[in-house]
Amino acid sequence: MSPADKKDKPADYQRVVLKNASPYHYMKVCLVLEDESTRLSAVDLKQFIISGLKSLYGEVGAALTFDLLKYDEDTLTAFLRVNSRGLVKLWSSLTLLGSYQNQACAFRVLQVSPFLLALTGNSRELQLD
């Protein structure tokens, strides 16, 4: 967290380097369910993740705020935003979430980045042919 200023000409050229300064982290996750026909709404999904946080970290963990920025009901893919300090907690509870309504499930963490922009330009999604 140390912005290093290198000012050549304050009026003309300014360069600031920010290290680890990102307040949020963004995750792109996909929920894989045993029964593929199961549908979840955005609210269901958020509730489900909160229950995971609660079971792993208790009431204090469940108080961790995160945002469900975008959710696609067809692919069960969601964009999450979480405070950088809470990333590890959220990630670990996602990893340990193993069942949804008595059916086996798993969260695939597709991408994690301190920049939301990075999630929209993932070259691993490039499909040719």
Question: Of the candidates 33, 48, 81, 106, which one interacts with another protein according to CB under 8 A?
Answer: 81
With 0-12 / 13-18 / 19 or more C-beta atoms within 10 angstroms meaning exposed / middle / buried, residue 46 is middle
- Segment near another protein (CB under 8 A); pick from 5-13, 30-38, 96-104: 5-13
Q: Strand locations in 21-127, DSSP E?
A: 24-33, 66-72, 77-83, 99-100, 103-113
Question: How far is Cα 119 from Cα 25, in angstroms, rounded to an integer?
Answer: 11
Minimum distance of another protein from residue 32's CB (angstroms): 19
Is position 12 an interface residue for another protein (rule: CB under 8 A)? yes
Residues β-bridged to residue 6 = 15
Is position 84 an interface residue for another protein (rule: CB under 8 A)? yes
Instruction: Show the tokens assigned to 119.
Output: 């999630």
Question: Of the candidates 19, 36, 37, 39, which one interacts with another protein according to CB under 8 A?
Answer: 19
Positions touching another protein (CB under 8 A) are: 8-9, 12-26, 42-43, 46, 65, 67-70, 79, 81, 84-85, 87-89, 111-124, 126, 128-129
